């Protein structure tokens, strides 16, 4: 089947994919940027490879930035074992926003999935191992990898129960052939393990339940935060219960702000830090206008203007890159996006052992279920319910601490996945 699908894919699939993305690039700037950056891919990659050592190499492929964040703990572990690391990306967002600080780690775009380009790609890198993060598998890259007898692995694999293509014979046959070129499929939980084993029962694929490296990444990031760095002046935070609204959208603000305004009637020590999803000037101005016109108890100031602080109880954060540090000083936190666009990172505040409030009306991850089941994630439905929950935690510090402790246990039980995974790959 592998040879048959190789012929079908290269005669029909590869041209169709190229035409699709070429046309799509006319309307999407990111896709257009990806095409442009790939023109000099092999020249740039050759230059980057020339300055790293001749150690063993691992190629780790991430579709975008989210997968890259999950890959970082693996990068750390491979470096401990004296591997040079090549990071490849499909999207410009992953390539542009990934921060690499090691001298034996290079990054590149993955080439278009033609057999000639993927052969050249592998001949240039000469990896010993290829790790795909989550799901972004490329047929010709895998096909050439198998011809070269390279170890191929998928990390943080999830089985999508909504994916009905496994039930369509033609597509299912292709997917089974694709996954059949993987040596090890490292999945997150028992559900993934059971379903992948069922679907790939006739393929020579080792399916291993091992956990999710994203927890490790969040843990490592939190450890790197400087305890001596003062994100807010002491005279502002002293004696305050700090509430952080992280990555908020208008839908979140419409629900939360009325409850905050009401809460300030009873708790003058409440200090809210609002971090909009995109802190553009137009967004900041819109928030300020709403707060000024609708709420009597909320007094606002921008983070950039704190030199003029005079007792305001609501700080609008108009800088990027501060959210993790703000979560580290929070009494409570709310993570936005879940009402309409998709929930943002709720593990980022959870590492700091506090209750995490959020909506999961739009389902885009499983972290919400993990925190809810652990007892430290609280799903918010409307203003009335938020106000009740919020007031309970404000008034009962013991309840807040007991709930936050449950978040600590979540991480305690999930640290070490990256080390275990890399040990299994390299032993």
| pLDDT tens-digit readout, 191-231 | 999 999 999 988 889 999 998 888 888 887 787 775 556 78
DSSP state of 51: T
Residue 134, pLDDT score = 87
Distance, in Å, from the CA atom of 390 to the CA atom of 335, rounded to the nearest integer, reads: 14
| pLDDT tens-digit readout, 109-144 | 999 999 999 999 999 999 999 999 988 999 999 999
Distance, in Å, from the CA atom of 234 to the CA atom of 322, rounded to the nearest integer, reads: 17
Contact 380, 426 (CB under 8 A): no
| pLDDT tens-digit readout, 51-89 | 887 789 999 999 988 888 889 999 999 999 999 999 999
Taken in order 404, 407, 409, 411, the sign of the CA dihedral is negative
Closest C-alpha among 213, 76, 205 to residue 152: 205
Residue 243 pLDDT > 90: yes
- Domain limits of the chain? 2-211, 228-412
Residue 228, pLDDT score = 54
Looking at the DSSP bridge assignments, the partners of residue 87 are 60, 107
> What mean pLDDT do residues 253-281 have?
94
Structure tokens at 214: 């994203």
Mean of all residue pLDDT scores within the chain: 91
> What Å distances lie between residue 304 and 149, 277, 279, 346, 421, CA to CA?
55, 17, 12, 25, 43
Q: What are phi and psi of 197, to 5 degrees?
A: -65, -40
User: Following DSSP, what letter does each residue of 397-414 receive, concatenated?
Assistant: HHHHHHHHHHHHHHHHTT
- Residue 105, number of CB atoms within 10 A of its CB: 19
- Share above pLDDT 70 across residues of the chain, in percent, rounded to a whole number: 99
> What Å distances lie between residue 173 and 74, 145, 199, CA to CA?
31, 20, 10
Structure tokens at 18: 């190229």
For the sheet with 270-276, list strands across it. Answer: 300-302, 314-316, 270-276, 241-248, 332-335, 356-358, 377-379
Identical fold, 2-211 and 228-412: yes
CATH 3.40.50.2000 correct for 228-412: yes
DSSP state of 295: -
Looking at the domain 2-211, which fold is it? Rossmann fold (3.40.50)
Q: What are phi and psi of 50, to 5 degrees?
A: -70, -20
Is 270 exposed, middle or buried, given 0-12, 13-18 or 19+ CB atoms closer than 10 A? buried
Q: What are phi and psi of 148, to 5 degrees?
A: -95, 5
């Amino acid at each position: 089947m592998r040879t048959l699908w190789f012929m079908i894919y290269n005669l029909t699939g590869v041209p169709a994919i190229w035409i699709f993305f070429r046309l799509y690039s006319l309307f999407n700037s990111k896709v257009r940027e990806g095409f442009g950056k790939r023109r000099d891919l092999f020249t740039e990659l050759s230059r980057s490879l020339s300055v790293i050592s001749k150690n063993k190499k691992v190629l780790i492929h991430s579709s975008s930035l989210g997968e890259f964040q999950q890959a970082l703990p693996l990068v750390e572990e491979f470096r401990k074992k004296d591997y040079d690391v090549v990071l490849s990306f499909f999207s410009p967002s992953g390539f542009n926003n990934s921060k690499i600080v090691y001298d034996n780690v290079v990054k590149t775009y993955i080439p278009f999935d033609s057999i000639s380009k993927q052969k050249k790609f592998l001949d240039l890198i000469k990896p010993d191992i290829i790790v795909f993060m989550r799901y972004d598998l490329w047929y010709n890259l895998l096909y050439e990898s198998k011809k070269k007898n390279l170890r191929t692995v998928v990390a943080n694999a999830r089985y999508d129960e909504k994916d009905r293509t496994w039930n369509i014979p033609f597509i299912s046959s292709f997917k089974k052939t694709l996954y059949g070129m993987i040596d090890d499929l490292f999945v997150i939980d028992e559900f993934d393990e059971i379903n992948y084993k069922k679907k790939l029962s006739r393929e020579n694929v080792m399916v291993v339940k091992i956990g999710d490296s994203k927890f490790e990444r969040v843990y490592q990031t939190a450890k790197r935060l400087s305890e001596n760095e003062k994100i807010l002046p002491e005279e502002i935070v002293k004696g305050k219960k700090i509430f952080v609204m992280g990555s908020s959208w208008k839908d979140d603000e419409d629900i939360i702000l009325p409850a905050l305004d009401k809460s300030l009637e009873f708790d003058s020590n409440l200090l809210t830090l609002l971090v909009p999803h995109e802190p553009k000037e137009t967004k900041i101005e819109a928030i300020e206008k709403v707060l000024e016109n609708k709420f009597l108890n909320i007094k606002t100031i921008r983070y950039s203007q704190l030199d003029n602080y005079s007792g305001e109880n609501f700080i609008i954060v108009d800088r990027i890159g501060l959210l993790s540090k703000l979560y580290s000083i929070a009494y409570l936190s709310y993570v936005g996006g879940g009402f309409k666009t998709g929930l943002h990172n709720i593990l980022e505040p959870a590492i700091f052992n506090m209750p995490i409030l959020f909506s999961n009306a739009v389902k885009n991850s499983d972290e919400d279920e993990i925190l809810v089941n652990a007892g430290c994630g609280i799903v918010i439905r409307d203003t009335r319910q938020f106000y009740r929950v919020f007031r309970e935690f404000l008034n009962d510090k013991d309840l807040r601490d007991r709930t936050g402790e449950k978040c600590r246990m979540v991480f305690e039980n999930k640290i070490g996945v990256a080390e275990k995974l890399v040990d299994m790959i390299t032993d």
